[in-house]
Structure 1
């Protein structure tokens, strides 16, 4: 493995050429922070291509086997994803709905080449990084249409959503749970699609801190996630659950009013605090005693499509905890389940009418330094080019005070960018 750093005169063009070049490989992970900066992430653009080794979940002991895979490939980047239905391994749970996407519960790969691209430079690692630079420079950026052909359908229509909502609210009033995330699937069958063009369009319509184009074989994940699930930096774990959503305003004044209303909403605040408590509890399983802290509560983060209410919870990792054990202890992401977590997940499987699969799982990487950073798989399209099946979900939290009409409209708001990419044909 050889490392080469180079100066970039025009990083935007280089990045687009690099993405075009990468998309030809069987294995690709392209991560773009879109210029969003915080104190916890330090990657602008990361590209991994080619697989010298890969890990696919077989449905048993996935987290332990993944740790063995990581340990047998030290000092390298290992990108991949963890599907929501791994809950069935970590708890006494099942998934009754069929697997229509054909994706495994987890997939990771050791890349042949990695690129870290900043504003003015790039670092390339692989057998012949100089050749890679030349190949990228010689690549022509194609502006092809998204090419979506297919009919987008609702798996759960409006009346079914309202019925499920009412049923879950009854469980809340009986005391079985006090918050739950209800999601619905939008899907199309016998689809053709240009995944790279669809991703580029998605990232244009909805640029987010955890934007990702992920490909393995004929399977694609096109993500515009704004939410960090969990990161490890040294002996610090950090989670940033999102609960609370508001649309963007048509004018600057309206935008500020919508932000202020979100920041002051008793409903949105209570939803966020409930999930903060859940995540604090999850992190306690991996933490040194007394180190779990909610360092930033109820911060407004603004994105092109929506404003979000975000909290930050951290802890120091207990001695002897492996990287995958710390993920297992908090998985699936609390913002996508509800509380109490296990009861909420049982009810989710009863009331939703589709299998979540990759959706509401986690997508990201393990780094050569033994750290990791994973987003929550939301605002994300999943496409199996082999079977022609395309799917995305949207969801929202139900509490005792939630209104079905408002939550249904919020689901549509969260899917707005994905609808726009597919309907803009």
Structure 2
């Protein structure tokens, strides 16, 4: 059972910062922040969960059934992540590429302490075994000061896993597959990394979030493993019987000049190649959702709409469906994973090509982070625009990618990757 109180905060932004600073004493942390970005389907402005009462951790083998059992038995808030390589549980696929990060394939935990922020109100839910901590914790949160966490961080020397010429060669191989009819679209990604490197995860997150202010920002800690994400993309949300997916495909840079920026946004909305990318993935998502949907309930509510973020313009479509009471929430995730925006179409063919041409395991990149509520609702982001860090291995990584279609120009695809990578690189290189 949980003890629940509602607490009023004068300045939500200051409280959020103090809350995240306070959370660093714990070994299990999930922080989700909308950055007050206007979202049609948002339930909370921010969520913090810390300190595991129970947890589940596994590799890809039978992972979704393991999660299903854990969620069903727990009947409480659980938060955690799904890595991209859970594809190997869904389909007869394998992953043998290099992995410098070594995240478990799946991890979820039931938090002893939970904070749900909306406007000037924070709902605080503590498991009864720690309810006596509540007043003390609130006092300690208010006393937190950002300067206590700050430390000088050396500039990180970033290396490319796939150099420019090799990238062109690999994209041309993807195009050969497309022209042969093996696949319509492949989301091809490359890793940037640093070895023998120490960073301050929370300070890195603060800097990344300040640059981007995305609607699905995440700070995640699992012992010595960290995710700092400035994701703009929702993977999947369940609210009652409704399922919502908002795939992103189509990117354009921003400009400081208002007229030029508006032109860049307009050009993206009318770009034939970008629209075709988006619609291909939208069709894939519709097909995925139909596996669990009531007949005739899958519908597109927004097609190729361009949204503006601090770093980039993005083309986003929204598709919804309705499910029966009998459908388990984990089955909705399993039937749509990995998200089409990070694979391509057809999905299995695209994933096989990805495995052959990419040189590292994606790990948590292009996976998802989110939560389940006690009544089986959920909300998950897509892990993109993110920095991953294994503190014990002193290994830092971020990956970026783009959709390769028949109309792709390798040079333009490469330049789009650099646009997407800019915020992570700026943060790490100071």
**Do 2:156 and 2:428's aligned partners in 1 also have CA atoms closer than 8 Å?**
no
- Once the two structures are superposed, residues 32-69 of structure 1 have per-residue CA deviations (whole angstroms, 9 ceiling, x without a partner) of 10011222112101111111011101332111110111
State how far apart, in whole Å, the 1-side matches of 2:152 and 2:105 are.
27
Partner SS, residue 163 of structure 1: helix
State how far apart, in whole Å, the 2-side matches of 1:10 and 1:178 are.
49
State how far apart, in whole Å, the 1-side matches of 2:170 and 2:383 are.
23
- Once the two structures are superposed, residues 73-100 of structure 1 have per-residue CA deviations (whole angstroms, 9 ceiling, x without a partner) of 11x3211110001111110111120222
Q: Which residue of 2 aligns with 1:130?
A: 135
State how far apart, in whole Å, the 2-side matches of 1:338 and 1:140 are.
45
State how far apart, in whole Å, the 2-side matches of 1:404 and 1:135 are.
53
**Do 2:64 and 2:89's aligned partners in 1 also have CA atoms closer than 8 Å?**
no
**Do 1:45 and 1:116's aligned partners in 2 also have CA atoms closer than 8 Å?**
yes
TM-score (norm 1): 0.97
Aligned residue pair count: 423
Q: Which residue of 2 aligns with 1:102?
A: 102
Deviation at 1:148, TM superposition (A): 4.4
Deviation at 1:389, TM superposition (A): 0.9
Q: Which residue of 2 aligns with 1:5?
A: 6
State how far apart, in whole Å, the 2-side matches of 1:213 and 1:386 are.
18
Structure 2 vs 1, CA of residues 170 and 152 (structure 1 numbering), >3 Å: closer, same or farther?
same
**Do 2:156 and 2:429's aligned partners in 1 also have CA atoms closer than 8 Å?**
no
**Do 1:155 and 1:184's aligned partners in 2 also have CA atoms closer than 8 Å?**
yes
Partner SS, residue 333 of structure 2: helix
Among candidates 154, 161, 164, match of residue 158 of structure 1 = 164
Q: Which residue of 2 aligns with 1:40?
A: 41
- Once the two structures are superposed, residues 325-354 of structure 1 have per-residue CA deviations (whole angstroms, 9 ceiling, x without a partner) of 100000001001011110000001111111
Q: Which residue of 2 aligns with 1:387?
A: 393
State how far apart, in whole Å, the 2-side matches of 1:187 and 1:215 are.
19
Q: Which residue of 1 aligns with 2:304?
A: 298
State how far apart, in whole Å, the 1-side matches of 2:310 and 2:335 are.
32
Deviation at 1:150, TM superposition (A): 4.2
Among candidates 177, 198, 205, match of residue 204 of structure 2 = 198
State how far apart, in whole Å, the 1-side matches of 2:219 and 2:143 are.
22
**Do 1:150 and 1:190's aligned partners in 2 also have CA atoms closer than 8 Å?**
no
**Do 1:149 and 1:193's aligned partners in 2 also have CA atoms closer than 8 Å?**
no
Deviation at 1:145, TM superposition (A): 4.1
Q: Which residue of 2 aligns with 1:51?
A: 52
Structure 2 vs 1, CA of residues 266 and 352 (structure 1 numbering), >3 Å: closer, same or farther?
same
- The answer to whether the aligner puts 1:168 opposite 2:174 as a matched pair is yes
Among candidates 414, 417, 425, match of residue 420 of structure 2 = 414
- The answer to whether the aligner puts 1:178 opposite 2:184 as a matched pair is yes
Deviation at 1:117, TM superposition (A): 2.0
Deviation at 1:119, TM superposition (A): 2.8
State how far apart, in whole Å, the 1-side matches of 2:154 and 2:4 are.
39
Q: Which residue of 1 aligns with 2:242?
A: 236
- The answer to whether the aligner puts 1:423 opposite 2:429 as a matched pair is yes
> Which 5+ residue runs of structure 1 have no aligned equivalent?
none
- Once the two structures are superposed, residues 232-283 of structure 1 have per-residue CA deviations (whole angstroms, 9 ceiling, x without a partner) of 1101111100000000012110110000000000000111100011101111
> Which 5+ residue runs of structure 2 have no aligned equivalent?
none
Q: Which moved more, 1:131-140 or 1:389-398?
A: 131-140
**Do 2:371 and 2:380's aligned partners in 1 also have CA atoms closer than 8 Å?**
yes
State how far apart, in whole Å, the 2-side matches of 1:274 and 1:260 are.
21
- Once the two structures are superposed, residues 352-379 of structure 1 have per-residue CA deviations (whole angstroms, 9 ceiling, x without a partner) of 1111111111111111231000011100
Deviation at 1:140, TM superposition (A): 2.1
Partner SS, residue 98 of structure 1: coil
**Do 1:364 and 1:375's aligned partners in 2 also have CA atoms closer than 8 Å?**
yes
State how far apart, in whole Å, the 1-side matches of 2:69 and 2:27 are.
24
State how far apart, in whole Å, the 2-side matches of 1:112 and 1:231 are.
24
Partner SS, residue 313 of structure 1: strand
State how far apart, in whole Å, the 2-side matches of 1:253 and 1:372 are.
39
**Do 1:230 and 1:237's aligned partners in 2 also have CA atoms closer than 8 Å?**
yes
Among candidates 396, 399, 404, match of residue 405 of structure 2 = 399
